[in-house]
Amino acid sequence: MGGARGYAGRDREGRRMGGAPNEALDRGLAPVDTSASRPREGPRGDSGHSARVEMKDVIYLDNAATSFPKPDAVHDTMRDFYRDCGVNPGRTGCDLALAAEEMIHGTRRKLSRFFNAGLIGAGGAKDPNRLVFTLNATMSLNLVINGLVHAGDHVVTTMLEHNSVIRPVNHKVRDGAEATFVRPDGEGYIDPADIGRTIRPNTKLVIVNHGSNVTGVVQDLGAIGAVCARAGVPLAVDTAQTAGVIPIDMHACRISFLAFTGHKGLFGPTGTGGLCVADDAEIEGTVYGGTGVRSAVPYHLTEYPYRLEAGTQNLAGIAGLSAGLDWIERRGIDEIRRHEIGLLAELQAGLEGIDGVRIHGTRRLESRVATMSFTIEGYDPSDVGTILDVDYGIQTRTGLQCAPLIHEHHGTTPRGTVRASLGPFNTSEQIRTMIGAVAEVAADRRAAVPAGR
């Protein structure tokens, strides 16, 4: 579409305007050097020169896709781990392998405690091996769905799900299972009683999204867990958007399976994630291979963590994930959340005041993560995303964001929305730049398209 030129997103020298993404957390948190201001080598253009992307000029509002930048401690820990001890644990008894094993085990312990996974007994002495590492939330969710649901079984899930639940469930339905996708209310909240009403004698699993990657709406896990516990059906939760962002108590919410990703709110690198399996939950392993122990056994081991882990782990990634978790604990999860929700409030108030802008889904600030979806009248969302990127250096995510059913619910199918998702390194200045950019884009369209067309 036209109109992508001429917005005041650059200064006279053609530099993009807006604050640096790695500025210190404003509102009282200490500065962090995240290295994101260093120029990054980009792909080579036709000229044969390396294109350089000045990361300090980018306003990154796509933290729901992956958090960026990562704290320096994450990069440093990964580099140090690979340099000093990057060998395969469990395969030999040498000192380096034992150190790698201790790093993995320590991270299991830390994450188990973080989610109050019900793996740690009073005094914290219980073995945390029922927390297994995977490459991402998608793999964790596949482990749960493939390990529990068979032909003839019924699954209850919701219209808020990401394709990493919708698609594996649909594959099960194609293979003879049944599924119910519970519809939320107009804001996007699920009534836990609706989950109870859909449970049948053959329901093997309830699987729900905790925080929506489209609108930020956060479900009441305590109430949903109570309904599932009363019905005797295991509850699995997709915490891709909430792990590290909102405290989650797996034990109190009676969650049987908690799937998390490492590269979003936990500030780990990509290629990290995991699944916590409650003490009383049963699941079959569906990935088989080497474990480094008891190699003569012809079938895959059934004890944890091997039951759900096979092959070499992403060691440097897990070390980085551990550093991300430490960083959150140093900053304080509540303090990070206060910062992000404060910025969301500013953004929402600013966008609500612009003619032609429509926010989709909940506007509540509580029971929400700092993610919002909007459209501008007369624009295709993907064009808005391109203009924000090219003319203002603002990175958002457009389209259906891998969650088509919630778009159907909010009436934003098939073109989707523009999604802004905030992180701890965003600043008020950046939010003001975003509001100004959206106002200019909306005004330009109104000037270009006479009313009524």
Ligand X SMILES: Cc1ncc(COP(=O)(O)O)c(C=O)c1O
Give which of 268, 285, 247, 11 is closest to 113, Cα–Cα: 247
Q: Which is nearer to ligand X, 164 or 373 (CB)?
A: 164
Query: Considering the complex, what minimum distance in angstroms separates the CB of residue 216 from ligand X?
Result: 11
Query: Considering the complex, what minimum distance in angstroms separates the CB of residue 207 from ligand X?
Result: 11
Q: Should residue 417 be labelled a site residue for ligand X when binding is judged by CB under 6 A?
A: no
What share of residues in the chain are helix, strand, coil (percent, to 5)?
35, 15, 50
User: What's the CA gap between 130 and 146, in Å, rounded?
Assistant: 17
Q: Should residue 283 be labelled a site residue for ligand X when binding is judged by CB under 6 A?
A: no
Q: Which is nearer to ligand X, 88 or 367 (CB)?
A: 367
Query: Applying CB under 6 A, which of residues 137, 156, 236, 275 lies at the interface with ligand X?
Result: 137
Query: Applying CB under 6 A, which of residues 116, 203, 213, 430 lies at the interface with ligand X?
Result: 213
User: What's the CA gap between 386 and 396, in Å, rounded?
Assistant: 9
Q: In this structure, what is the dihedral angle of CA atoms 138, 412, 436, 11, given to the nearest 10 degrees?
A: 70
User: What's the CA gap between 362 and 385, in Å, rounded?
Assistant: 21
Query: Considering the complex, what minimum distance in angstroms separates the CB of residue 383 from ligand X?
Result: 23
Instruction: Please state whether the peptide bond connecting residue 69 to the residue before it is cis, i.e. omega within 30 degrees of 0.
Output: yes
Q: How would you classify residue 3: left for phi > 0, otherwise alpha for psi between -120 and 50, otherwise beta?
A: left
Q: Which is nearer to ligand X, 17 or 137 (CB)?
A: 137
Q: Which is nearer to ligand X, 179 or 439 (CB)?
A: 179
Q: Annotate 11-23 with b (16+ C-beta within 10 A) or e (fewer).
A: eeeeebbbbbbbb
Residues 331, 333, 338, 344: is their CA dihedral positive or negative? Answer: positive
| Residue span 261-280 as binding mask against ligand X, x where in contact by CB under 6 A, dash where not | x-----------x-------
State the helix-helix crossing angle for 333-352 and 315-331, rounded to 10 degrees: 80
Query: Considering the complex, what minimum distance in angstroms separates the CB of residue 134 from ligand X?
Result: 9
User: What's the CA gap between 388 and 437, in Å, rounded?
Assistant: 7
Give which of 234, 151, 164 is closest to 195, Cα–Cα: 234
- Applying CB under 6 A, the span of 48-56, 130-138, 148-156, 276-284 interacting with ligand X comes to 130-138
Q: Biggest alpha carbon distance in the chain?
A: 76
Q: Which is nearer to ligand X, 16 or 162 (CB)?
A: 162
Q: Should residue 77 be labelled a site residue for ligand X when binding is judged by CB under 6 A?
A: no
Enumerate residues 234-263 that contact ligand X by CB under 6 A: 238, 240-241, 261
| Residue span 86-115 as binding mask against ligand X, x where in contact by CB under 6 A, dash where not | ------------------------------
CA distances for 217 relative to 248, 333, 385, angstroms: 15, 18, 22
User: What's the CA gap between 186 and 324, in Å, rounded?
Assistant: 35
Q: Should residue 381 be labelled a site residue for ligand X when binding is judged by CB under 6 A?
A: no
Q: Which is nearer to ligand X, 149 or 160 (CB)?
A: 160
Q: Which is nearer to ligand X, 50 or 170 (CB)?
A: 170
Are 137 and 261 within 8 A, CB to CB?
A: yes
Residues near ligand X (CB under 6 A), total:
13
Q: Which residue's structure tokens are 């889904």?
A: 361
Q: Which is nearer to ligand X, 313 or 427 (CB)?
A: 313
DSSP label of 312: -
Query: Considering the complex, what minimum distance in angstroms separates the CB of residue 406 from ligand X?
Result: 10
Q: Should residue 164 be labelled a site residue for ligand X when binding is judged by CB under 6 A?
A: yes
Query: Considering the complex, what minimum distance in angstroms separates the CB of residue 188 from ligand X?
Result: 13
SS3 258: strand
- Applying CB under 6 A, the span of 131-139, 195-203, 223-231, 333-341 interacting with ligand X comes to 131-139
Query: Considering the complex, what minimum distance in angstroms separates the CB of residue 260 from ligand X?
Result: 8
Query: Considering the complex, what minimum distance in angstroms separates the CB of residue 349 from ligand X?
Result: 25
Q: Should residue 138 be labelled a site residue for ligand X when binding is judged by CB under 6 A?
A: yes
Query: Considering the complex, what minimum distance in angstroms separates the CB of residue 237 from ligand X?
Result: 10
DSSP label of 70: P
Q: Which is nearer to ligand X, 34 or 157 (CB)?
A: 157
Give which of 291, 323, 282 is closest to 309, Cα–Cα: 291
User: What's the CA gap between 209 and 75, in Å, rounded?
Assistant: 30
Query: Applying CB under 6 A, which of residues 136, 256, 412, 430 lies at the interface with ligand X?
Result: 136
Q: Should residue 162 be labelled a site residue for ligand X when binding is judged by CB under 6 A?
A: yes
Query: Considering the complex, what minimum distance in angstroms separates the CB of residue 419 from ligand X?
Result: 10
Which parts of this chain interact with ligand X (CB under 6 A)? 64, 136-138, 162, 164, 209, 213, 238, 240-241, 261, 273
